[in-house]
Amino acid sequence: ERLVDRLKTRDRADLNMEICARIPVYTITTAIGLEGDDALRFRHAHVNSVENAGVPPEERYRNFLLVENILQGLIDERRTRPTSDLVSSLLDATVRLPGEEPRPMTDREIMYMAKIVMIAGGGTSWRQMGITLLALLSNPDQLAQVKADPSLLDDAVDESLRWNPTAPFFYRNATCDTELYGHKIAKGDIVEVGIGPANRDPSRWDNPDAFDINRPKLS
């Protein structure tokens, strides 16, 4: 609601960056314990601190230090003033590893957990929101349906996941010898599962390349 309120008095907006990108970032960073501009600053620095970020090493290192300082400051604050966020919960957690005595999580472990949650939850949600929004704006009749009946939004999201999923391929490790459509798969083989191609299979879906929120559901 805060994000939408910022756009109400304007006649143009970059919906991908100002809505789709910010909602998951705000949601996840709020769960971690960050708010407002600190949330966006943290994610931007984190994304640009990894080796494949495409930025110079000096800039990666500056971003790395910024992320570390933000998280360490948050950990120090929550240690004295805990709330209901993720960092507070991790500070109160107990690590139980085989052959070791139970212990609290270290600051470094809490940092790693916060970084993983930030990256794992932000990008895919951002992209799928953008895909759904683009699909609806490109099909104004279906957009009008959703506006008239907001309960159809679930159908719109489901259809966007079929029509253009952000992660069209998954890799899985076969846990036993098996056979699929005459192809032998040995235990330990890596199987590439094509969710995207399956979702466009004309033997399963009528007019599979079309975005259609009124598509019949799976039985």
Q: Which residue has the tokens 């790395």?
A: 64
Q: What is the pLDDT of residue 219?
A: 60
Express each pLDDT in 100-132 by its tens digit: 999 999 999 999 988 888 777 677 888 999 999
Strand partners, 183: 180
Own/partner pairs, 102-111, CB within 8 angstroms, 24+ separation? 107/72, 107/75, 110/71, 110/75, 111/68, 111/71, 111/72, 111/75
Q: What is the pLDDT of residue 107?
A: 95
Give the whole-angstrom CA distance, residue 123 versus residue 172.
21
CB count within 10 Å of CB 35 equals 11
Q: What is the pLDDT of residue 154?
A: 94
Question: Which tokens sit at 40?
Answer: 């966006």
**114 — phi, psi (to 5°)?**
-65, -40
**126 — phi, psi (to 5°)?**
-55, -50
Residues 63 and 49: beta-carbon distance below 8 Å? yes
Closest CA to 121 of 214, 203, 39, 12: 39
Q: What is the pLDDT of residue 36?
A: 66
* Spans of the chain, pLDDT less than 70: 36-37, 51-53, 121, 218-219
CB count within 10 Å of CB 186 equals 9
Q: What is the pLDDT of residue 188?
A: 94
Q: What is the pLDDT of residue 49?
A: 85
Residues 130 and 138: beta-carbon distance below 8 Å? no
**How many Cα atoms occupy the beta-carbon half-sphere of 148 within 13 Å?**
6
Give the whole-angstrom CA distance, residue 157 versus residue 129.
8
Closest CA to 208 of 154, 153, 162, 161: 162
